[in-house]
């Protein structure tokens, strides 16, 4: 069941409100104060209204105001209704999580690879998937550590950012393409000094980079000894080893790895790969986390929920 998207409707209403307010304000000013003819006043006011909506859209798309906006909106949109499921990312209860339908998009995904995946797993407000709620729960159990650490977050997602904002924990965000982050960093050539980070989050990024081994060695290099790497990536429970093809076309990537921008899918030796990269590896045990943040996506033919907690040796 696909539900009504309250966030999108709210966003459109806000833009209409912004346009109307700017239009009326400029119109009244031009027409009644400066006696500019009605037709000219209307055109100038409409132009100012459109410009204000464009600026608003630009701020949300390309700047960190995107996170602040949703943090603010969170206070009065989707009030906690004491339902049975809980999203620790945005701190709200719901009667149920939203139907995903994510994997039905054949231009981006291979639905056959997600045949066993549950779809009713998405938070209605912040769009967190189970993996985000698992990470937020881990973070909730480690607030003291995060408050006293230098934290670097690769490829930040709204749900995780809402958690950090709500808890007042300062993080440095990084991405190669997303303009809303603090730093432009290439995971395979990270422009940061050795041992400079205490805690690094790198979730669902490794399947996108051309050379994942190089990315892991770079992560190992920038984390101080004893520092922590929280990392996750898609795992095919039916594969022993990584399946990858960095030269594959978009169509082949969809067919082979399930998603249009994935170069690979990891296998059951993922833990060993992380250990070989110089980490002491543990998985975040879902059984230790509150049951109301679930259901997880699986048991799936494509596991996106395993989160590794690695200590840099």
Report the interface residues with Zn ion, using CB under 5 A: 87, 89-90, 123, 125-126, 128
The conformation of residue 6, written as its DSSP 8-state character, comes to H
- How many whole angstroms from its chain centre is CA 142? 20
* Burial class of residue 207 in the structure, from the number of CB atoms within 10 Å of its CB (0-12 exposed, 13-18 middle, 19+ buried): buried
Tell me the residue length of the chain: 313
CB 86 to Zn ion: min, Å: 9
**Contact in structure between 15 and 56 (CB atoms under 8 Å):** yes
CB 189 to Zn ion: min, Å: 34
CB 296 to Zn ion: min, Å: 15
Residue closer to Zn ion by CB (options 7, 188) is 7
Rg (CA), the chain: 22
CB 125 to Zn ion: min, Å: 5
Residue closer to Zn ion by CB (options 85, 254) is 85
CB 98 to Zn ion: min, Å: 10
Say how far apart CA 311 and CA 206 lie, in whole Å.
18
CB 124 to Zn ion: min, Å: 7
Residue closer to Zn ion by CB (options 41, 71) is 71
H helices present in the chain, as ranges: 6-28, 38-62, 65-73, 130-141, 143-147, 158-166, 212-222, 250-257, 270-276
Residue closer to Zn ion by CB (options 195, 295) is 295
Q: Record the tokens describing residue 40, joined without a space.
A: 């000219």
Say how far apart CA 146 and CA 288 lie, in whole Å.
19
Cis peptide bond upstream of 226, omega within 30: no
φ, ψ at 2 (rounded to 5°): -90, 130
243-244 vs 264-265, strand pairing mode: antiparallel
Say how far apart CA 290 and CA 307 lie, in whole Å.
16
CB 200 to Zn ion: min, Å: 23
Among residues 127, 68, 144, 118, which one has the least CA distance to residue 92? 127
CB 75 to Zn ion: min, Å: 13
Residue closer to Zn ion by CB (options 78, 266) is 78
Say how far apart CA 25 and CA 95 lie, in whole Å.
42
Residue closer to Zn ion by CB (options 35, 81) is 81
Say how far apart CA 189 and CA 154 lie, in whole Å.
13
């Amino acid at each position: 069941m696909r539900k009504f998207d309250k966030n999108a409707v709210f966003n459109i209403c806000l833009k209409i409100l912004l346009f109307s307010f700017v239009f009326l304000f400029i119109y009244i000013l031009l027409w009644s104060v400066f006696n500019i003819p009605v037709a000219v006043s209307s055109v100038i006011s409409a132009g100012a209204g459109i410009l204000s909506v464009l600026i608003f859209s630009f701020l949300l798309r390309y700047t960190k105001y995107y996170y602040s906006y949703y943090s603010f909106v969170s206070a009065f949109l989707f009030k906690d209704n004491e339902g049975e499921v809980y999203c620790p990312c945005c701190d709200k209860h719901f009667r149920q999580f939203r139907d995903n339908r994510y994997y039905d998009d054949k231009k981006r995904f291979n639905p056959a690879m997600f045949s066993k995946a549950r779809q009713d797993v998405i938070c209605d407000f912040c769009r967190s998937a189970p993996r985000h709620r698992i990470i937020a729960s881990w973070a909730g159990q480690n607030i003291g550590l995060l408050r006293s650490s230098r934290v670097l977050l690769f490829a930040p997602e709204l749900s995780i950012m809402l958690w950090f904002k709500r808890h007042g924990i300062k993080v440095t965000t990084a991405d190669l393409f997303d303009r809303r982050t603090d730093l432009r960093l290439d995971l395979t050539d990270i422009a940061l000094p050795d041992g400079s980070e205490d805690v690094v989050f790198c979730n669902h990024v490794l399947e996108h980079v051309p050379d994942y081994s190089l990315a892991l060695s770079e992560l190992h290099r920038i984390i101080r000894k004893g520092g922590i790497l929280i990392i996750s990536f898609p795992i095919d429970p039916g594969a022993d080893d990584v399946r990858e093809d960095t030269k594959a076309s978009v169509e082949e990537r969809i067919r082979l790895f399930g998603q249009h921008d994935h170069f690979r899918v990891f296998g059951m030796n993922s833990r060993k790969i992380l250990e070989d990269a110089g980490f002491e590896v543990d998985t975040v045990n879902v059984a230790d986390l509150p049951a109301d943040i679930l259901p997880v996506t699986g048991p799936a033919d494509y596991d996106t929920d395993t989160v590794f907690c690695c200590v840099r040796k």
